[in-house]
Amino acid sequence: MTAPSSDLIYRLLVQSVVDYAIYLLDTDGNVVNWNAGAERAKGYRADEIVGRNFAVFYSEADRAAGLPQKALATARAESRFEAEGWRLRKDGTRFWTNVVIDAIHDDDGKLVGFAKITRDITERHQQQLKLVEAKELAEQYSQQMATVSHFLDSVISNMPDSVLALATGAKGDDGAGTNRHEILLANGHARHLFATGGADIKGRLVRDCLGAEVAEYIERLAAMPANGHAPSDDSLVQTPLGPRTLRSRTALGSRPDGGGDYLLVITEDVTDELAAYAQIHHMAQHDGLTNLPNRTFFHQRLEAAIRDSSEDGTHAAILCLDLDNFKNINDAFGHGFGDKILLMLAGRLKKCLREHDTLARLGGDEFAVVLPRVRRVDEAQHAARRLIDAVAPPFAIDGHSFTVGLSIGIAVSSQEGSSAEQLLRFGDMALYEAKRNGRNRYELFHPDLEAASRVRRQMEIDLRRALHRGELQMHYQPIIEKEGCRISGYEALIRWQHPVKGQVPPMEFIPLAEETGLIHELGARALNLACQEAATWTNGATVAVNLSPVQFKNSELVKAVALALEDAGLPARRLELEITESVLLANTEGNIRTLQALKDLGVRISLDDFGTGYSSLSYLRSFPFDKIKIDKSFVRDMGESREAMAIIRAITGLSSSLLIEITAEGVETEEQFRQLQVEGCSHFQGYLFGRPVAAEHRVEELDTRATAQ
Ligand SMILES: [Mg+2]
């Protein structure tokens, strides 16, 4: 290598350059000199690197690939080699570099070495890489965007709501400033709901392609401030599907293509939902059979009526209604029949009431009426009378005719303020009183009834206690047999010896026991006591025990009778069970099965109090009774009343041909006894022979009067 005169200057210049590594290689690639830039870039001092091959700057892999030799070969062949790539520093770290290798020839054109200029461009390289990454990311993002966009398209077309995208801002040509909304997008539901025949409306103007009402609705939405979160008020709109209730949300957006703003209109057709909700609401407040308000709704109406009446100085009245005998019809003819009566009844009752009165079915055959703004108590009484009269005519159903009675309890709110609960309670007490006083009537609540109700509640508590403390005992009244005029048996009659009140008459506590269900326990107790006591009688007399119709509701009745007989060791033939005809009126088939099962045990069945109720002769056909007991009212009246006598004759005549025994009850005089014998009665019972007394005092022998004749 020749040294030019400017060599020194040149060398100093080169060596002081720090931004570039500039050094010479000999023809084999060994480092000849080293400048400050090279030392800075590669970390070698001149004495560490001069003489070593420049291949040390390459990675092992690059060296193995022969890259250093190839670079020199290129520079040799083409005078210049330029490349970018990773190179190694002395400490082994990498840097990205721009490398230029120039071949140096002497004046004769002979290669004398190479000038190598290396620039560390790691930073720029990294920026470029980041850009590439960003580009890739952008591409990837755009792909994701496309996926998202596709997904959104699918959501929009499949969502149950109608979706419209409208271009905003374009004013109409009419100069009136009307926005001309072009439809940018309409999903299937929107086309179905808004466009006649589901026509394609994309690209068209709202005004041009939609019906007047629909267009007006959409433009009204478009004119409102968009708020994607809060829906608009429900609007009834005439759509191609008919009048529909619509609820919409609007949201403003910008088109990504710079095409301006668009308005997204999402419309929900809530017609069916509202109808279903209204239906559910109605069902929750009304009785399914009669469609009358139910108990819940009744309560609301009652509370409103009380509120209103206290404001204008009037009263709220309630009428508590109870059907007499309905349960019997229901049991006898089935619920379908009962339902028909209830429906007809509801219709009749409703006709008697004012428009603002509320007739409600509280359950079963329990109805109630709220009369708001009643000025005088007699208005409520008149309403009650109208209702009773309306129910009186027979109901004709499927060729049958039924009469249903109606009892009503009335309670009227006081000016001092009444609660709904209180009025209902008072109405119930008045109803109880109405039923007690003979049914088919109304009673107005008065404070005495509350006291009476308290007494009843107390009596119920006492009666429960009486069952446990053995305060109930049986008294026995003799039954006389015609043949031989001897005592053939006794009717067992329950007595309650109250520790404070003394003897409580059965008329007071039996109905209460029937109402409260205590009758089952009471009846079983009576049966056990009677059987046990009868078992001790040495004369073989029978014992007659009364069964309440309510006891027939208990499926265990037959078992209870069998158990009582077994426990007492009493032969079944010595037990008579007395039932009233209401047992045959209610649930006839089931009860006749029960009667038959009782008869199968070997006990005898008597029809008690005959002549007082319906006294249908068909009862005598429906079951083979062993005995009929003529009610004491006929015996009492037979002296004065031809009718009473005629009925007695009819019964005795019938039973003698049916071979049924007849007991005349309530025989008090010798004359009655004589005449009843003439009429053909087989058994007699009454004060003439003996009153009901405790077992230990029971009459065992007839006194001389009775046996005298
Ligand atoms: Mg009796």
Lowest-confidence pick of 55-64, 141-150, 195-204, 361-370: 141-150
Confidence bin at 53 (pLDDT 50/70/90) = very high
H-helix or E-strand containing 264? strand 261-269
Does residue 173 register a pLDDT over 60? no
Q: Could you tell me the distance, in angstroms and rounded to a whole number, from the CA of residue 595 to the centre of ligand 1?
A: 16
Helix (H, G, I), strand (E, B) or coil at 691: coil
Does residue 1 register a pLDDT over 50? no
pLDDT in tens, 26-40: 999 999 988 888 888
Please give the DSSP secondary-structure letter assigned to residue 414.
Answer: -
Q: Could you tell me the distance, in angstroms and rounded to a whole number, from the CA of residue 515 to the centre of ligand 1?
A: 20
279 CB-near residues (< 8 Å, 6+ apart): none
Question: How is domain 286-445 classified at the CATH fold level?
Answer: Alpha-Beta Plaits (3.30.70)
424 CB-near residues (< 8 Å, 6+ apart): 302, 318, 320, 368, 411
Q: Could you tell me the distance, in angstroms and rounded to a whole number, from the CA of residue 398 to the centre of ligand 1?
A: 37
Predicted local distance difference test score (pLDDT) of residue 159: 78
Q: Could you tell me the distance, in angstroms and rounded to a whole number, from the CA of residue 629 to the centre of ligand 1?
A: 8
Q: Could you tell me the distance, in angstroms and rounded to a whole number, from the CA of residue 479 to the centre of ligand 1?
A: 11
CA–CA separation, 633 vs 622, rounded Å?
A: 25
Confidence bin at 703 (pLDDT 50/70/90) = low
Predicted local distance difference test score (pLDDT) of residue 311: 87
Determine the average pLDDT of the residues in 157-186: 73
CA–CA separation, 123 vs 126, rounded Å?
A: 5
pLDDT in tens, 643-673: 889 889 988 888 888 888 999 999 999 999 9
Predicted local distance difference test score (pLDDT) of residue 658: 81
Predicted local distance difference test score (pLDDT) of residue 704: 52
H-helix or E-strand containing 213? helix 212-223
Q: Could you tell me the distance, in angstroms and rounded to a whole number, from the CA of residue 609 to the centre of ligand 1?
A: 7
Q: Could you tell me the distance, in angstroms and rounded to a whole number, from the CA of residue 441 to the centre of ligand 1?
A: 28
Predicted local distance difference test score (pLDDT) of residue 13: 62
Q: Could you tell me the distance, in angstroms and rounded to a whole number, from the CA of residue 205 to the centre of ligand 1?
A: 92
Q: What is the 3-state secondary structure (H, E, C) of 316-355?
A: EEEEEEEEECHHHHHHHHCHHHHHHHHHHHHHHHHHCCCC
Q: Could you tell me the distance, in angstroms and rounded to a whole number, from the CA of residue 693 to the centre of ligand 1?
A: 15
Q: Please state, in angstroms and as integers, the Cα–Cα distance from residue 421 to each residue in 299, 309, 358, 410, 412, following that order.
A: 9, 16, 17, 14, 12
Q: Could you tell me the distance, in angstroms and rounded to a whole number, from the CA of residue 553 to the centre of ligand 1?
A: 19
Picking from 432, 485, 469, 475, the residue whose alpha carbon sits closest to that of residue 688 is 485
Predicted local distance difference test score (pLDDT) of residue 139: 77
Using a 10 angstrom Cβ sphere, with 0-12 exposed, 13-18 middle and 19 or more buried, the burial of residue 409 is buried
Q: Could you tell me the distance, in angstroms and rounded to a whole number, from the CA of residue 259 to the centre of ligand 1?
A: 100
Task: Report the Cα 261 to chain-centroid distance in Å.
Answer: 47
Return the higher-pLDDT residue of 576 and 438: 576
Q: Could you tell me the distance, in angstroms and rounded to a whole number, from the CA of residue 507 to the centre of ligand 1?
A: 13
Q: Could you tell me the distance, in angstroms and rounded to a whole number, from the CA of residue 645 to the centre of ligand 1?
A: 21
CA–CA separation, 269 vs 248, rounded Å?
A: 9
Confidence bin at 709 (pLDDT 50/70/90) = very low
Other beta carbons within 10 Å of 376: 11
* Average pLDDT along the chain: 87
96 within 8 A of 122, measured Cβ to Cβ: yes
Q: Could you tell me the distance, in angstroms and rounded to a whole number, from the CA of residue 328 to the centre of ligand 1?
A: 22
Q: Could you tell me the distance, in angstroms and rounded to a whole number, from the CA of residue 495 to the centre of ligand 1?
A: 14
Q: Could you tell me the distance, in angstroms and rounded to a whole number, from the CA of residue 568 to the centre of ligand 1?
A: 21
Q: Could you tell me the distance, in angstroms and rounded to a whole number, from the CA of residue 691 to the centre of ligand 1?
A: 13
Q: Could you tell me the distance, in angstroms and rounded to a whole number, from the CA of residue 631 to the centre of ligand 1?
A: 9
Other beta carbons within 10 Å of 22: 21
Return the higher-pLDDT residue of 587 and 59: 59
The strands making up 235-239's β-sheet, listed across from edge to edge, are 183-186, 162-167, 261-269, 242-254, 235-239
Per-residue exposure over 127-163, b if at least 16 CB sit within 10 Å of its own CB, e if not:
eeeeeeeeeeeeeeeeeeeeeeeeeeeeebeeeebbb
Q: Could you tell me the distance, in angstroms and rounded to a whole number, from the CA of residue 556 to the centre of ligand 1?
A: 22
When mean pLDDT is compared over 133-142, 297-306, 437-446, 552-561, the highest value belongs to: 297-306
Q: Could you tell me the distance, in angstroms and rounded to a whole number, from the CA of residue 524 to the centre of ligand 1?
A: 16
Q: Could you tell me the distance, in angstroms and rounded to a whole number, from the CA of residue 551 to the centre of ligand 1?
A: 15
Return the higher-pLDDT residue of 105 and 543: 543
Determine the average pLDDT of the residues in 401-425: 89
- Which residue ranges does the chain devote to CATH 3.20.20.450? 469-707
Q: Please state, in angstroms and as integers, the Cα–Cα distance from residue 430 to each residue in 162, 177, 366, 434, following that order.
A: 59, 73, 14, 6
Confidence bin at 256 (pLDDT 50/70/90) = low
273 within 8 A of 160, measured Cβ to Cβ: no
Q: Could you tell me the distance, in angstroms and rounded to a whole number, from the CA of residue 433 to the centre of ligand 1?
A: 26
Which residues are placed with Cβ below 5 angstroms of ligand 1, an ion? 546, 578, 608
Residue appearing with tokens 């009459």: 699
Determine the average pLDDT of the residues in 599-614: 87
- Which residue ranges does the chain devote to CATH 3.30.70.270? 286-445
Q: What is the 3-state secondary structure (H, E, C) of 416-467?
A: CCCCHHHHHHHHHHHHHHHHHCCCCCEEECCHHHHHHHHHHHHHHHHHHHHH
> Which amino acid is residue 353, in one-letter code?
L
Q: Could you tell me the distance, in angstroms and rounded to a whole number, from the CA of residue 607 to the centre of ligand 1?
A: 9
Predicted local distance difference test score (pLDDT) of residue 700: 79
Q: Could you tell me the distance, in angstroms and rounded to a whole number, from the CA of residue 579 to the centre of ligand 1?
A: 8
CA–CA separation, 246 vs 267, rounded Å?
A: 7
CA–CA separation, 55 vs 72, rounded Å?
A: 10
Q: Could you tell me the distance, in angstroms and rounded to a whole number, from the CA of residue 583 to the centre of ligand 1?
A: 14
171 CB-near residues (< 8 Å, 6+ apart): 177, 178, 179, 180
Question: How is domain 469-707 classified at the CATH fold level?
Answer: TIM Barrel (3.20.20)
Helices 506-516/519-536 angle, 10° precision: 130
Q: Could you tell me the distance, in angstroms and rounded to a whole number, from the CA of residue 694 to the centre of ligand 1?
A: 16
Q: Could you tell me the distance, in angstroms and rounded to a whole number, from the CA of residue 625 to the centre of ligand 1?
A: 14
Lowest-confidence pick of 234-238, 325-329, 484-488: 325-329
Q: Could you tell me the distance, in angstroms and rounded to a whole number, from the CA of residue 333 to the centre of ligand 1?
A: 28
Question: How is domain 7-120 classified at the CATH fold level?
Answer: Beta-Lactamase (3.30.450)
Q: Could you tell me the distance, in angstroms and rounded to a whole number, from the CA of residue 597 to the centre of ligand 1?
A: 20
Predicted local distance difference test score (pLDDT) of residue 388: 94
CA–CA separation, 583 vs 590, rounded Å?
A: 10
Determine the average pLDDT of the residues in 471-493: 89
The vertex-239 CA angle with 234 and 241, nearest 5°, equals 110
Predicted local distance difference test score (pLDDT) of residue 484: 62
Question: How is domain 159-275 classified at the CATH fold level?
Answer: Beta-Lactamase (3.30.450)
Q: Could you tell me the distance, in angstroms and rounded to a whole number, from the CA of residue 456 to the centre of ligand 1?
A: 24
CA–CA separation, 288 vs 276, rounded Å?
A: 16
Picking from 203, 199, 183, the residue whose alpha carbon sits closest to that of residue 191 is 199
Q: Could you tell me the distance, in angstroms and rounded to a whole number, from the CA of residue 198 to the centre of ligand 1?
A: 82
Q: Could you tell me the distance, in angstroms and rounded to a whole number, from the CA of residue 606 to the centre of ligand 1?
A: 9
Q: Could you tell me the distance, in angstroms and rounded to a whole number, from the CA of residue 473 to the centre of ligand 1?
A: 16
Q: List the structure tokens of 520.
A: 């089952």
Return the higher-pLDDT residue of 415 and 623: 623
Q: Could you tell me the distance, in angstroms and rounded to a whole number, from the CA of residue 491 to the centre of ligand 1?
A: 7
Task: Report the Cα 601 to chain-centroid distance in Å.
Answer: 48
Other beta carbons within 10 Å of 83: 13
Return the higher-pLDDT residue of 599 and 79: 599
Helix (H, G, I), strand (E, B) or coil at 698: coil
Q: Could you tell me the distance, in angstroms and rounded to a whole number, from the CA of residue 608 to the centre of ligand 1?
A: 6
Confidence bin at 259 (pLDDT 50/70/90) = low
When mean pLDDT is compared over 102-106, 127-131, 543-547, the highest value belongs to: 543-547
Predicted local distance difference test score (pLDDT) of residue 359: 96
Strand bridging mode 627-630 / 661-664: parallel
Q: List the structure tokens of 5.
A: 């005169």
Q: Could you tell me the distance, in angstroms and rounded to a whole number, from the CA of residue 490 to the centre of ligand 1?
A: 10
448 within 8 A of 457, measured Cβ to Cβ: no
CA–CA separation, 50 vs 657, rounded Å?
A: 152
Residues of the chain with pLDDT > 70, as a percent, come to 93
Q: Could you tell me the distance, in angstroms and rounded to a whole number, from the CA of residue 477 to the centre of ligand 1?
A: 10
